[in-house]
Chain A
Amino acid sequence: MKRHLLSTEDLSRDDALLVLDTAERMARVAEASVRKLPTLRGRTVVNLFFEDSTRTRTSFEVAAKRLSADVINFSARGSSVSKGESLKDTAQTLEAMGADAVVCRHSASGAPHRLATWVRGSVVNAGDGTHEHPTQALLDAFTMRRRLGRVDGLAVTIVGDVLHSRVARSNVWLLTTLGASVTVVAPPTLLPLGVSSWPVEVSYDLDAVLPKSDVVMMLRVQRERMSAAFFPTEREYSRRYGLDVDRAARLADHALVMHPGPMVRGMEISSQVADSARSTVVEQVANGVSVRMAVLYLLLGGSGETT
């Protein structure tokens, strides 16, 4: 592994598989016993969240604590960060704390990349703007592998606001690196203009793609996109790109429905589908902890003393 996990785009196939295999071992250990592992005793992991995300922050926190790392939650809310302290000042504070790893969530694309140039510890991107969210993609791939036995050769369809989705970007790179074939489905307004350079198929017709899909990943669509004229109405979006019971019936029996959450039920996915046996939403929580344990172990497990 490299020193940081900033994106899946620069993750090699070997390193991606190493993370997934390690996560599998972590999951087995977790299933056997609830006890902490001493692996990262004496290491400090800082959760640096400039955007609220209780789910992701908690997942990293649980992962770090299960490995016996000390966790410091450094939330931007209410701290000096919200009073205009710069990212660089924050980085210097983290250095003073002796952070071995910084888990960074930020609304600006590339913020963790900048942070990585200013701190000595490892930086884990926990979601940056509309760029990447690598641990989410790793946990999605991990979930696919646990459910379907493999990622290589799977047909994965990603549906929704690809333009603004860091989850979509991270999944496109990771899943294609791992040998899946990916199709993105969205209204053309919600695809980046440069999507033609991505290693994916592009379709505007969800119904045509569903029967060929092993996995359908539904992305959240924020209602405020409507006001910026990305689509006319919620109803029209839902009719063309939402996954309801009738549409889900076109899926193969084994096909999975995934959602990175939080869901907008009724808009991009109906409650019945979200709660069906195809849905992986619940196990993704546990899988998220295993994957994040694996990432922290691989980044920190062997790092030397910071002298």
Chain B
Amino acid sequence: MSGETVAPANTAGSGHTAGSGHTAGSGNGRGQGGSWVLRRVRPLGGDPVDVLLTDGIVGAWRPAGSTSPDSEGLPPGTTILDTDGLILLPGLVDLHTHLREPGREDAETVESGTRAAALGGYTTVFAMANTTPVADTAGVVEQVWRLGLDAGHCDVRPVGAVTVGLAGQRLAELGAMADSAAGVRVFSDDGHCVSDALLMRRALEYVKAFDGVVAQHAEEPRLTAGAQMNEGEVAARLGLPGWPAVAEEAIIARDALLAGHVGSRLHVCHVSTAGSVDLIRWAKAKGWQVTAEVTPHHLLLTDDLVSSFDPVFKVNPPLRSARDVEALREGLADGTIDCVATDHAPHALEDKETEWAAARPGMLGLETALSVVMETMVVGGHLDWAGVARRMALAPARIGGLPCTAGDPGSSLAVGAPATVTLLDPSPRRVVDADALASRSRNTPYAGRSLPGAVRATFLRGRPTVLDGKVV
């Protein structure tokens, strides 16, 4: 991708690197990052057009290749990017990110995590509440939200804890978090299940007052005491205590019934089993407000990888069987599962370079998610790019209550919509190098694996956060 700056910029002849395409006076002040033309870009993988981003919004669509530095109507200082063949997607939204700050800044910070997010094509991440201290008060969620603003790589929407200290005993001040500057709408004890049925019912009911949603980490704790991996043939062989599918499915069934009973919104985190897909399909057929996410790793990886005993493959819920993977892909394709969420979970080396049982569960995901979805869903024909946009941007935005797209799920790339977009080059395959990732941690399960596609640029309300595959 190369850029060319429109006259009367005083940098004529030096504008061939997209990253240096800024021009004096072009976008300072309102932080909108100037004007950009994406030449011959393919919105949602469709026919090429020239798309103008200006004043933080999508300005105009023009015929492919028709824009040149002296075209009519271009704001002064507009940079023309050669984006021939790149796919234009709405900026990706991750409903499930662990940024680790405050508390484990050695594993990740808001700055490093959102940098990784931008490189992965994300423009909004929902930061999970299991930090130290726990994000269970207005003070903590505002702190995280401000750190996100300061970093500026993408929007950070804090998730509030459902219960005080994630202890599952009493409700946190959900309303105070909703009313805070962070405007929390998603509440989750993720990492822990809200296993008490009565407490879960109350949480579901309570958040209706501010159109909140409870995102449940579905894991019946009694059935998973000591569990280390998916219960099944591989676990039987390796002698690792099993994490049975029923521990997830029993909670999903119960919570769906509760959500139906009280008429509330339930979101199911990281669905991992074929049975869970069936239950969510059933709940949706009932007309209940149940949504669900699946992680990239559950779409690609299976539990036989645990045979190496390398804890980089340890995650919660655990990697499942090939049959489950197939059901998850089908569920995501037919819309039973609404969206992809990364469950990006950075861990310091000492928490992963251990024996299996001592290692902490979790995998990096932000910088590889789009490639994994392309590999598992697009290459195999399960989804087209419009489908990817729905499941990685529009649906999570809607579930998370983001104002910019709420109520207008098709709007993202239309003229007048926020210029919050991602450009993907679908052609290259690259081998994942853990050391090259922007995350502070190295626990990617894809190291050494070849994946398709590369994010070339990310724009947040018209301002590039990533250009030429590098953070701006």
Q: Which residues of chain A are near B287, meaning CB under 8 Å?
A: none
Query: What is the bound-complex CA distance between A198 and B355, given in angstroms?
Result: 25
Pick the residue among B237, B308, B309, B353 that contacts A194 (CB under 8 A): B237
Chain A interface: which of B63-71, B227-235, B269-277? B227-235
Query: What is the bound-complex CA distance between A108 and B358, given in angstroms?
Result: 8
Beyond A87-B354, A87-B355, whether A109 also contacts B239 by CB under 8 A is yes
Query: What is the bound-complex CA distance between A193 and B235, given in angstroms?
Result: 9
Beyond A109-B240, A110-B309, whether A194 also contacts B235 by CB under 8 A is yes
- Chain A: CB-nearest residue to B242: A193
- Which residues, 78 to 130 on B, are CB-close (under 8 Å) to A? none
Q: Which residues of chain B are near A132, meaning CB under 8 Å?
A: 239
Asked whether, in the complex, the Cβ of A194 is within 8 Å of the Cβ of B239, the reply is: no
Q: Which residues of chain A are near B356, meaning CB under 8 Å?
A: 108-111, 114
- Chain A: CB-nearest residue to B308: A113
Q: Which residues of chain B are near A113, meaning CB under 8 Å?
A: 308-309
- Which residues, 162 to 211 on A, are CB-close (under 8 Å) to B? 166, 169, 192-198
- Chain B: CB-nearest residue to A162: B236
Asked whether, in the complex, the Cβ of B238 is within 8 Å of the Cβ of A131, the reply is: yes
- Chain B: CB-nearest residue to A228: B225
Interface flags, B336-366, vs A, CB<8A=1, else 0: 0000000000000010011111100000000
Pick the residue among A88, A130, A194, A196 that contacts B234 (CB under 8 A): A194
Q: Which residues of chain A are near B358, meaning CB under 8 Å?
A: 86-87, 108
- CB of A129 closer than 8 Å to a CB of B: yes
- CB of A234 closer than 8 Å to a CB of B: no
Asked whether, in the complex, the Cβ of A197 is within 8 Å of the Cβ of B233, the reply is: yes
- CB of A70 closer than 8 Å to a CB of B: no
- Which residues, 228 to 281 on B, are CB-close (under 8 Å) to A? 228, 231-242, 244
- CB of A106 closer than 8 Å to a CB of B: yes
Asked whether, in the complex, the Cβ of B353 is within 8 Å of the Cβ of A86, the reply is: yes
Question: Could you tell me the distance in whole angstroms from the C-beta of A72 to the nearest C-beta in chain B?
Answer: 21
Q: Which residues of chain A are near B239, meaning CB under 8 Å?
A: 109, 128-132, 166, 169
Interface flags, A79-91, vs B, CB<8A=1, else 0: 0000000111000
Interface flags, A219-249, vs B, CB<8A=1, else 0: 0000000000000000000000000000000
Query: What is the bound-complex CA distance between A192 and B236, given in angstroms?
Result: 5
- CB of A9 closer than 8 Å to a CB of B: yes
Query: What is the bound-complex CA distance between A109 and B353, given in angstroms?
Result: 15
Query: What is the bound-complex CA distance between A86 and B355, given in angstroms?
Result: 9
Q: Which residues of chain B are near A106, meaning CB under 8 Å?
A: 355
Asked whether, in the complex, the Cβ of A108 is within 8 Å of the Cβ of B357, the reply is: yes
Query: What is the bound-complex CA distance between A111 and B242, given in angstroms?
Result: 18
Pick the residue among B242, B308, B350, B353 that contacts A192 (CB under 8 A): B242
Q: Which residues of chain A are near B357, meaning CB under 8 Å?
A: 107-109, 129
Query: What is the bound-complex CA distance between A169 and B358, given in angstroms?
Result: 22
Query: What is the bound-complex CA distance between A107 and B240, given in angstroms?
Result: 11
- Chain B: CB-nearest residue to A192: B236
Asked whether, in the complex, the Cβ of A193 is within 8 Å of the Cβ of B309, the reply is: no
Query: What is the bound-complex CA distance between A110 and B235, given in angstroms?
Result: 12
Asked whether, in the complex, the Cβ of B353 is within 8 Å of the Cβ of A88, the reply is: yes
Interface flags, B132-152, vs A, CB<8A=1, else 0: 000000000000000000000
Question: Could you tell me the distance in whole angstroms from the C-beta of B222 to the nearest C-beta in chain A?
Answer: 11
Interface flags, B407-432, vs A, CB<8A=1, else 0: 00000000000000000000000000
Q: Which residues of chain B are near A198, meaning CB under 8 Å?
A: 236-237
Q: Which residues of chain B are near A129, meaning CB under 8 Å?
A: 239-240, 357
Question: Could you tell me the distance in whole angstroms from the C-beta of A47 to the nearest C-beta in chain B?
Answer: 18
Query: What is the bound-complex CA distance between A113 and B238, given in angstroms?
Result: 11
Q: Which residues of chain B are near A111, meaning CB under 8 Å?
A: 309, 355-356
Task: Give the A-binding residues of B (Cβ under 8 A).
Answer: 228, 231-242, 244, 308-310, 350, 353-358
Could you list 12 examples of A-B contacts with CB < 8 Å? A9-B237, A87-B354, A87-B358, A109-B356, A113-B309, A114-B310, A130-B239, A131-B239, A132-B239, A197-B233, A197-B236, A198-B236
Give me the 9 closest cross-chain CB pairs, A-B, nearest first: A194-B236, A110-B309, A131-B239, A192-B236, A130-B239, A194-B233, A108-B355, A111-B355, A197-B233
